[in-house]
Amino acid sequence: MNPRARQPIDSPDTPAAILLVSPYPDDQIMLPEILKHRNWQWHKSQGCCEALEFLQSHSVTVLICERDQPDGCWQDLLDAAAKQASPPSLIVFSRLADESLWAEVLNLGGF
């Protein structure tokens, strides 16, 4: 079993908290719209520093981040998330087809 495996985020009792980290304004608008769900609370960050600060005082269920960050990288977010009492699932996305990125993210427990 994957040590980073999580429980389903679709619990009727507790809303899932999603943190979206992307410097691209279109992502900030489109992803929440595409993935809209009645029980999800969206939080948005435009870069790693802002997201790392947010994670120090907030717990999230899922962390979705763009591979390319202006002030850090997705591994920084993975490390910070792992320190939380209940680490969130990490989803890394990229505008480019990058098989080595996919392999690295999966090997480190992300999606």
User: What is the domain-level CATH number for residue 89?
Assistant: 3.40.50.2300
32 inside domain: yes
The tens digit of pLDDT for each residue in 75-86 reads 999 999 898 889
Q: Residue 86's domain spans which residues?
A: 16-107
The tens digit of pLDDT for each residue in 21-41 reads 999 888 888 888 887 777 788
Q: Is the pLDDT of residue 5 over 70?
A: no
Say if residue 42 is exposed, middle or buried (CB neighbours under 10 Å; 0-12, 13-18, 19+).
Answer: middle
1 inside domain: no
| Cβ atoms 77, 21 nearer than 8 A | yes
9 inside domain: no
Greatest Cα pair distance, the chain, in angstroms, is 38
3-state secondary structure of 71: coil
Q: What are phi and psi of 43, to 5 degrees?
A: -125, 145
| Cβ atoms 51, 83 nearer than 8 A | no
Could you tell me the two tokens for 29? 């608008």
63 inside domain: yes
Which residues, 6 or more positions from 24, have their beta carbon under 8 angstroms from its beta carbon?
66
How many distinct structural domains can be found in the chain? Answer: 1
Q: Is the pLDDT of residue 8 over 90?
A: no
Estimate the crossing angle of helix 48-57 against helix 74-82, to 10 degrees: 10
What is the Cα–Cα distance from 97 to 81, expressed in whole angstroms?
Answer: 25
Tell me the whole-structure pTM to 2 decimals: 0.78
